[in-house]
């Protein structure tokens, strides 16, 4: 058996983005089986480009099965540690393919739900309004409940909710330990459950986290807000990418090494006088309206 091992170190959004890399790998190496090791094997279920998907905690006898004496190529590199990513010179998909010497043909993320999954999860939804989905906070390992560098502020979120709450049922994608808001319904559960329910939504307001990658994979255009990271590196042209306003004060960057800002939102680095200066709420509302 000829195979390729692709290891993905990182969060669920990075895994979803990596499905585009999987497609590019299989296009170039159609004679090899692709084996993926990641923290989120459910991302790769039913993916025709992936033969098997393993989690980091479930790789017993992997060396004997796939490495020792086998015709195996190992793609274990991390694109986050490349010059192009650190200097934000290309999109991460292109960077990843270049790093592996794989031709990039414009592949985009892919997620594959079965019809049974979709029907089963969507039957759980019984709402008398059209659905708007929001994701306001991200980061599985984020120590603070709010990161100014990625998340939507409480004030901005409340203004958007107030504008749409009478017309839409607002489903808020969040974990139990993340901030909740009045006039919203928590949308949690498995990734695949959230994806199936997302297919019912008419409007989507997201940040740079796993949902914007998911919606790109499902071809669902969304409004995506960006503060520190750039859509040219991590986003998609399918979405309406809303860029934060220019900084209004000089941040203290003494701790910056390979990135200008800590994505966790270090208070010392905050480059605005207040959170209300980060986004124009009317711009976000206009994007959702249109």
pLDDT value for 244: 98
Quick one: pLDDT at residue 230? 98
Angle (CA) 115-42-235 rounded to 5° is 90
Query: How many Å separate Cα 233 from the centre of its chain?
Result: 12
**Fold for domain 2-99?**
Rossmann fold (3.40.50)
In angstroms, rounded to a whole number, what is the distance separating the alpha carbons of residues 278 and 146?
Answer: 14
- For tokens 């796939």, the residue is 66
Determine the Cα–Cα distance for residues 102 and 108; give it in Å rounded to an integer.
14
Q: Does pLDDT of 40 surpass 90?
A: yes
List the single range of 135-139, 169-173, 182-186 with lowest mean pLDDT.
Answer: 135-139
Report pLDDT digits (tens) over 234-265: 999 999 999 999 999 999 999 999 999 999 99
Measure the CA–CA gap between 155 and 281, rounded to whole angstroms. 9
Domain ranges of the chain: 2-99, 126-289
Confidence of residue 59 (pLDDT cuts 50, 70, 90): very high
What would the pLDDT profile of 13-22 be if each residue is shown by its tens digit? 999 999 999 9
CA 172 to chain centre: 16
The pLDDT value recorded for residue 144 is 74
49: pLDDT strictly greater than 80: yes
pLDDT-above-90 percentage for the chain: 96
Tokens at 109, concatenated: 């993320």
User: Which of 259, 263, 244, 254 lies closest to 143, judged by CA?
Assistant: 263
pLDDT at 140: 65
| 76-90 pLDDT tens trace | 999 999 999 999 999
Same fold for the domain at 2-99 and the one at 126-289?
yes
Whether the pTM exceeds 0.85: the reply is yes
pLDDT digits (tens, 9 = 90+) for 108-160: 999 999 999 999 999 999 999 999 999 999 876 666 789 999 999 999 999 99
Q: What is the CATH number of domain 126-289?
A: 3.40.50.2000
């Amino acid at each position: 058996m000829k195979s390729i091992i692709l290891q993905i170190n990182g969060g669920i959004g990075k895994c979803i983005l990596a499905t585009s890399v999987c497609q590019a790998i299989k296009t170039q190496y159609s004679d090899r089986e692709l084996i993926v090791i990641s923290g989120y094997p459910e991302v790769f279920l039913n993916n025709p480009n992936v033969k098997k998907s393993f989690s980091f905690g479930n790789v017993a006898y992997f060396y004997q099965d796939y490495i020792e004496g086998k015709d195996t190529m190992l793609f274990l590199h991390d694109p986050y540690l490349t010059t192009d990513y650190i200097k934000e010179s290309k999109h991460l998909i292109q960077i990843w393919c270049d790093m592996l010497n794989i031709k990039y043909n414009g592949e985009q993320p892919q997620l594959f739900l079965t019809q049974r999954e979709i029907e089963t999860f969507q039957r759980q939804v019984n709402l008398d309004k059209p659905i708007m989905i929001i994701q306001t906070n991200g980061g599985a390992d984020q120590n603070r409940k709010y990161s100014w560098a990625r998340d939507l502020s409480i004030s901005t979120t409340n203004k958007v909710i107030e504008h749409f709450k009478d017309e839409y049922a607002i489903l808020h994608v969040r974990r139990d330990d993340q901030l909740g808001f009045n006039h919203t319904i928590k949308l949690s559960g498995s990734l695949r459950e959230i994806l199936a329910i997302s297919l019912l939504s008419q409007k989507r307001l997201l940040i740079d986290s796993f949902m914007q990658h998911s919606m790109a994979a499902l071809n669902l255009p969304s409004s995506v807000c960006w503060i520190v990271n750039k859509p040219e590196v991590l986003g998609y042209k399918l979405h309406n990418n809303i860029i934060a306003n220019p900084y209004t004060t000089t941040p203290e960057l003494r701790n910056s090494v390979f990135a200008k800002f800590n994505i966790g939102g270090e208070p010392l680095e905050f480059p605005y006088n207040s959170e209300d200066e980060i986004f124009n709420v009317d711009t976000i509302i206009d994007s959702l309206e249109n």
